[in-house]
């Protein structure tokens, strides 16, 4: 309690610096002789927080809560009567006495019935005060430093500076966050966020009693698995562990922006900061961020990597426990050691760059012990299966010991940690390098080199011999051996491809692009494939295919088409992909009959999937990729209508801190290209964002942007959507075939986000990380500005009949032209 008083004083000083205008007409305290009625409020001493009555937009229920007073966006951080709303405006908040001696804060309805109350306090002279920290307290009027009750002990869905999550070991009381039921109902929802003390503290989010995702364990600086808080002076926390309590709280930093964490009704943890210039909360992280944050997705000893497909794999030197289930994408059984432990003589293998496993079955030694000493301690205990550094703030900072299966591990793009796993000695001896996940035994290294040499022999005619030519001509379709080596793709023999495609039979032909035709095929074991075959006369296709070979092996994501391998024999050059039974999006979307297969939920899932795939390309892949030709015909649909971005022939990769580039050779598809790219050859991630916005408007409306015709209007689809946005009539944009069977709020959000994406200036467009968040969360959206190209259309071209022609995608050609000097 003393520490809490000190913290509250510190928070008061913080907010004095932020808000130094005292509201002389406002009160911050009530006692037994004063009340707060509906329409009245308490305001903290320096105007930081306000307490009063409110209702939510789609409800007439009245609540008493606390919100930020100095910002214009209503942000409720605490609700008193969240489970018992008032049904009218007759509510009264007052302080009263029980039995003449015990002070209590109560909320009464119009008939003086108690709707809500604080815990009883032992004082005959109680007062309630709202502090600048946002804490509502009950205290003795003559003892201002002794908080007898405080709202910080009963948080709702929001964590901000001063609130402590954890457990009091003396009283057994746990403090945790609980989500709202919905955006219009602050009652306790399905999700809760806990600092779990079992084993070693970690943050858990649960749905009922089931763990949904986990952030942790605590490593002395942050939660393992939440690297985005590193070096952030405006957001961070601390964990105090004593004999009496375990308590995690966010820190307040004087003079800097407000920040908070909110557990949304759908179980997402959202971290945000207040942006004065934008007059809105800016989100800077979501947890879960991707499917690898799903708890124990890959089972015991499995490891999740969002950059691979499938995402789950076994830890190095482990194999699937049930190979058949594993191949069927059921990873729940996890993996087992390739070689059993013997205890005596076991070694330790280092895994780097990971989120540490579930820490509920751990022990620890927080004395100043080095990693070498940790290894010695773990070696002596046969139940110890792994160890890690307890505190990463410096060497010799204690040990964390694991005593059960290692669960819920994922790779980390940055700020991952090291874990030392117990292995049979034979699995560790002869390791090259530091023994991390990238390490391989000498045998494996030799085998890899041999495989490369063998591949070079197989491809000698195409690759090896041609690299010796002085005038290697890419226009003739030649690839160097370097492309094959860098691609790391499996090799398919020409005979295998010919057999699979029935000698490239016309009945197996799926379509054709600038590179050449695409065929469907079936391998001997029954696996369906799609084969992209380079046309011998295709100049554009040579460059595209070479570009794909360079990039595709580095791109693996649920929403990207998976590349299975390549074939290069004689004068044949092919890429082999997973087969998509529902073909490309345009074939279904723009067909009058087939479009009915795409109900609103499927369309929204497609929009979300494309957004996540683009986010991976722009931010999370090993290379920063600009697609440059995003369009409906390049979105393929699998058997479950899950979208897969395809065709990386025109893609460009960025390195380091590069954010944009310029080219004299503009490539892309009219109707999807951003203004700055089409006019000046400047492309960036924001160019793809523009194309994505066009895609969304097409998916919602069922119409192409290119050639869109509305009677009596000279507008393309972007211009029509913009007009409806200004008229607040977005419902009119929705595809009539949906027959009003859609979530209007979700539809309007999708259209609004799309219009933000197609704004004329690239600086005004959001990044894909913001797009993904805005689509998945009911947050306030900024006003959209005028789109680019919103009045331009070729009146001589009318594609209005495309909807009835399933092969109309031939009108959406990829075009290339060279900019003049």
Give, rounded to a whole angstrom, the gap between the first and last alpha carbons of the chain. Answer: 72
Which residue stretches of the chain have pLDDT < 70? 1-25, 227-235, 252-257, 394-396, 429-488, 513-514, 536-554, 622-623, 654-668, 710-713, 790-821
Predicted local confidence at residue 433, as pLDDT = 36
CB 549 within 8 A of CB 563: no
Q: Any residues with CB less than 8 A from the CB of 656 and at least 6 apart, and which?
A: none
CB 634 within 8 A of CB 671: no
3-state SS string over 594-658? Answer: HHHHCCHHHHHHHHHHHHHHHHHHHHHCCCEEECCCCCHHHEEECCCCCEEECCCCCCEEECCCC
**E strand or H helix at 443:** helix 442-458
For 467, the 3-state DSSP assignment is helix
Share of the chain above pLDDT 70, in %: 78
Predicted local confidence at residue 534, as pLDDT = 84
Q: Any residues with CB less than 8 A from the CB of 625 and at least 6 apart, and which?
A: 551, 555, 617, 618, 648, 651, 652, 653, 654
Instruction: Compute the distance between CA of residue 817 and CA of residue 815 in angstroms, rounded to an integer.
Output: 7
Instruction: Compute the distance between CA of residue 450 and CA of residue 209 in angstroms, rounded to an integer.
Output: 52
Give CA torsion, residues 224, 230, 232, 237, to 10 deg: 30
Give CA torsion, residues 130, 135, 138, 139, to 10 deg: -90
Predicted local confidence at residue 334, as pLDDT = 94
What would the CATH number be for the domain defined by 157-275? 2.90.10
- Count the Cβ atoms, other than its own, within 10 Å of residue 677: 27
Single pTM value for the model: 0.55
b/e sequence 402-430, b meaning 16+ C-beta within 10 Å = beebbbbbbbbeebbbbbbbbbbeebbee
pLDDT tens by residue, 738-793: 988 899 999 999 999 999 999 999 999 999 989 998 998 888 899 999 998 765 43
The sign of the CA dihedral 715, 718, 720, 724 is negative
Residues designated catalytic: 629
Predicted local confidence at residue 19, as pLDDT = 36
Q: Can you list the alpha helix ranges (DSSP code H) found in 122-186?
A: none
User: Bridge-partner residues for 238, per DSSP?
Assistant: 249
For 372, the 3-state DSSP assignment is helix
CB 92 within 8 A of CB 37: yes
The sign of the CA dihedral 473, 474, 477, 479 is positive
Q: What share of the chain is helix, strand, coil (3-state, %, to 5)?
A: 25, 30, 45
* Mode of pairing for the β-strands spanning 652-654 and 563-569: unpaired
- Count the Cβ atoms, other than its own, within 10 Å of residue 356: 30
Predicted local confidence at residue 435, as pLDDT = 35
CB 436 within 8 A of CB 350: yes
Q: Any residues with CB less than 8 A from the CB of 283 and at least 6 apart, and which?
A: 270, 271, 272, 770, 773, 777, 779
Q: Rounded to whole angstroms, what are the CA distances from 803 to 230, 609, 704, 730? A: 51, 24, 9, 21
Of the candidates 76, 111, 88, the residue with the CA atom closest to the CA atom of residue 38: 88
* Mode of pairing for the β-strands spanning 302-304 and 409-411: parallel
b/e sequence 488-522, b meaning 16+ C-beta within 10 Å = ebebbeeebbeebbeebeeebebeebbbbbbbbbe
pLDDT tens by residue, 706-736: 777 766 667 889 989 999 999 999 999 999 9
Predicted local confidence at residue 471, as pLDDT = 30
Instruction: Compute the distance between CA of residue 799 and CA of residue 705 in angstroms, rounded to an integer.
Output: 10
Widest Cα–Cα separation across the chain: 101
What would the CATH number be for the domain defined by 1-154? 2.90.10.10
Structural domain boundaries of the chain? 1-154, 157-275, 293-440, 462-578, 585-818
For residue 238 the two structure tokens come to 């601390």
The sign of the CA dihedral 425, 431, 436, 439 is negative
Q: Rounded to whole angstroms, what are the CA distances from 550 to 467, 484, 555? A: 17, 8, 10
Of the CATH numbers 3.40.50.300, 3.30.465.10, 1.10.510.10, 3.40.1190.10, which one belongs to the domain with range 585-818? 1.10.510.10
Q: Any residues with CB less than 8 A from the CB of 701 and at least 6 apart, and which?
A: 717, 721, 733, 734, 735
Predicted local confidence at residue 228, as pLDDT = 53
Predicted local confidence at residue 552, as pLDDT = 66
CB 653 within 8 A of CB 645: no
| Topology (CATH level 3) of domain 462-578 | Phosphorylase Kinase; domain 1 (3.30.200)
Instruction: Compute the distance between CA of residue 279 and CA of residue 662 in angstroms, rounded to an integer.
Output: 33
**Fold match flag (157-275 vs 585-818):** no
């Amino acid at each position: 309690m003393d520490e809490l008083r000190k913290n509250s004083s510190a928070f008061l000083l913080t907010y004095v610096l932020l808000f130094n205008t005292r509201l002389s007409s406002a009160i911050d305290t009530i006692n037994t002789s004063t009340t707060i009625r509906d329409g009245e409020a308490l305001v903290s001493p320096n105007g930081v927080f306000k307490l009063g009555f409110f209702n939510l937009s789609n409800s007439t229920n009245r609540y008493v809560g606390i919100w930020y007073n100095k910002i214009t966006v209503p942000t409720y951080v605490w609700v008193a009567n969240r489970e018992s709303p008032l049904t009218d405006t007759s509510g009264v908040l007052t302080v009263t006495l029980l039995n003449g001696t015990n002070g209590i804060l109560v909320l009464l309805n119009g008939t003086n019935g108690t709707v809500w109350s604080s815990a009883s306090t032992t004082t005959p002279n109680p007062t309630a005060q709202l502090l600048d920290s946002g804490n509502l307290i009950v205290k003795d009027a003559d003892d201002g430093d002794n908080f007898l009750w405080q709202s910080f002990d009963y948080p709702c869905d929001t964590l901000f500076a001063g609130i402590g999550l954890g457990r009091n070991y003396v009283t057994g009381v746990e403090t945790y966050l609980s989500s709202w039921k919905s955006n219009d109902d602050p009652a306790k929802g399905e999700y809760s966020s806990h600092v779990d003390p079992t084993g070693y503290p970690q943050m858990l989010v649960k749905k009922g009693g089931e763990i949904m995702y986990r952030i942790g364990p605590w490593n002395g600086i942050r939660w393992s698995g939440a690297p985005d808080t590193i070096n952030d002076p405006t957001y961070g926390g601390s964990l105090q562990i004593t004999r009496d309590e375990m308590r995690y709280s966010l820190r307040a930093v004087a003079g800097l922006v407000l920040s908070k964490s909110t557990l949304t009704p759908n179980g997402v943890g959202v971290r945000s900061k207040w942006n004065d210039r934008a007059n809105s909360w800016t989100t800077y992280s979501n947890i879960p961020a991707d499917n690898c944050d799903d708890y124990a997705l890959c089972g015991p000893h499995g490891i999740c990597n969002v950059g691979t497909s499938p995402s789950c794999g076994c830890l190095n030197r482990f194999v699937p426990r049930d190979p058949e289930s594993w191949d069927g994408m059921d990873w729940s059984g996890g993996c087992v050691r390739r070689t059993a432990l013997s205890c005596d003589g076991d070694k330790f293998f280092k895994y780097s760059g990971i989120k540490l496993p579930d820490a509920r079955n751990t022990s620890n030694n927080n004395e100043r012990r080095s990693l070498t000493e940790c290894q010695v301690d773990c070696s002596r205990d046969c139940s110890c299966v792994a160890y890690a550094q307890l505190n990463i703030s410096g060497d010799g900072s204690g040990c964390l010991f694991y005593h059960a299966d290692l669960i819920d591990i994922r790779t980390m793009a940055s700020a991952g940690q090291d874990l030392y796993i117990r292995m049979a000695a034979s699995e560790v001896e002869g390791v090259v390098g530091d023994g991390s996940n990238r390490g391989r035994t000498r045998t494996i290294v030799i085998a890899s080199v041999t495989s490369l040499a063998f591949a070079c022999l197989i491809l000698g005619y195409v690759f090896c011999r041609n690299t010796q030519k002085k005038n290697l001509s890419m226009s003739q379709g030649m690839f160097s051996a370097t492309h094959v080596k860098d691609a790391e793709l499996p090799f398919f023999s020409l005979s295998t491809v010919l057999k699979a495609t029935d000698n490239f039979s016309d009945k197996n032909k799926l379509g054709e692009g600038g590179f050449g035709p695409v065929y469907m095929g079936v391998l001997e074991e029954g696996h369906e494939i799609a084969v992209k075959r380079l046309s011998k006369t295709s100049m554009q296709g040579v460059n595209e295919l070479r570009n794909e070979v360079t990039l595709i092996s580095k791109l693996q994501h649920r929403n990207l088409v998976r590349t299975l391998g390549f074939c290069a024999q004689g004068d044949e050059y092919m890429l082999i992909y997973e087969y998509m039974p529902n073909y490309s999006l345009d074939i279904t979307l723009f067909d009058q009959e087939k479009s009915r297969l795409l109900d609103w939920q499927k369309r929204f899932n497609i929009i979300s999937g494309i957004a996540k795939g683009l986010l991976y390309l722009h931010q999370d892949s090993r290379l920063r990729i600009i697609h440059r030709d995003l369009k409906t015909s390049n979105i393929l649909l699998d058997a479950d209508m899950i979208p897969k971005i395809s065709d990386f022939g025109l893609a460009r990769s960025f390195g380091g801190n590069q954010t944009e580039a310029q080219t004299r050779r503009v490539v892309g598809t009219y109707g999807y290209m951003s203004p700055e790219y089409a006019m000046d050859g400047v492309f960036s991630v924001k160019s793809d964002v523009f194309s994505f916005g066009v895609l969304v408007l097409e998916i919602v409306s069922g119409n192409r942007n290119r050639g869109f015709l509305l009677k009596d209007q000279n507008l393309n689809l972007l211009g029509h959507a913009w007009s409806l946005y200004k008229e607040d009539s977005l419902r009119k944009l929705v595809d009539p075939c949906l027959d009003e069977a859609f979530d209007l709020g979700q539809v309007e959000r999708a259209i609004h986000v799309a219009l933000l994406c197609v704004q004329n200036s690239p600086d005004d467009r959001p990044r894909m990380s913001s797009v993904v968040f805005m689509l998945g969360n009911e947050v306030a959206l900024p006003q959209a500005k005028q789109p680019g190209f919103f009045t331009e259309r070729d009146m001589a071209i009318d594609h209005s009949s495309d909807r009835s022609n399933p092969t109309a995608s031939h009108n959406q050609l990829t075009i290339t032209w060279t900019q003049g000097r």
